[in-house]
């Protein structure tokens, strides 16, 4: 079994703005003003949807030729339904995370519709982000006060 460790560091740089860094790259996350942020970047849930869509697109591009898919272009639109009443504590029974995520694939390829549909099934079965969402990993939390 070949395992690789991926790491990231998240630092607060504003009221709700966070700097996310991994390797030599960084990006920012924030919340819209009506949720307490300054609307300077995507929200964490928007970034999650983006990571999911990017992962699906990358898997499609990586495996297309091996599956005899002449992939010309791919675009994925994602929608996530979130109940803000749960996050705000208004509804204690509301799910905190997404209750539904919809991926809309727009695929341009010199293949039949069925070949494209079958390929997307393969893509979904080989997407690490989707696997993480569906088969939740063990979550370990370590706390280091005053550091």
Q: 113-125 vs 44-63: helix axis angle to the nearest 10?
A: 120
Strands 18-22 and 25-29: antiparallel
pLDDT on residue 111: 97
Could you read off the pLDDT of 19-73 as tens digits, one per residue?
Answer: 999 999 999 999 999 989 999 999 999 999 999 999 999 999 999 999 999 999 9
- What is this structure's pTM? 0.91
Residue 89 pLDDT grade (very low, low, confident, very high; cuts 50, 70, 90): confident
Does residue 134 carry a pLDDT above 90?
Answer: yes
Structure tokens at 1: 């079994």
């Amino acid at each position: 079994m070949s395992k690789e460790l991926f790491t990231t560091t998240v630092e607060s740089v504003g009221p709700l703005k966070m700097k996310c860094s991994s390797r030599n790259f960084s990006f920012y996350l924030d919340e819209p003003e009506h949720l307490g942020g300054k609307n300077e970047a995507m929200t964490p849930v928007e970034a999650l949807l983006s990571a999911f869509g990017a992962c699906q697109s990358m898997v499609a591009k990586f495996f297309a030729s091996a599956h005899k898919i002449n992939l010309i272009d791919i675009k994925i639109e994602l929608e996530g339904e979130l109940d803000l009443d749960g996050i705000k504590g208004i509804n204690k029974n509301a799910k905190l995370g997404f209750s539904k995520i919809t991926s809309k694939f727009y695929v341009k390829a010199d293949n039949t519709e069925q070949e494209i549909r079958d390929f997307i099934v393969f893509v979904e079965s080989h997407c690490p982000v989707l696997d993480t969402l569906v088969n939740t990993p063990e979550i370990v939390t370590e706390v280091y006060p005053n550091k």
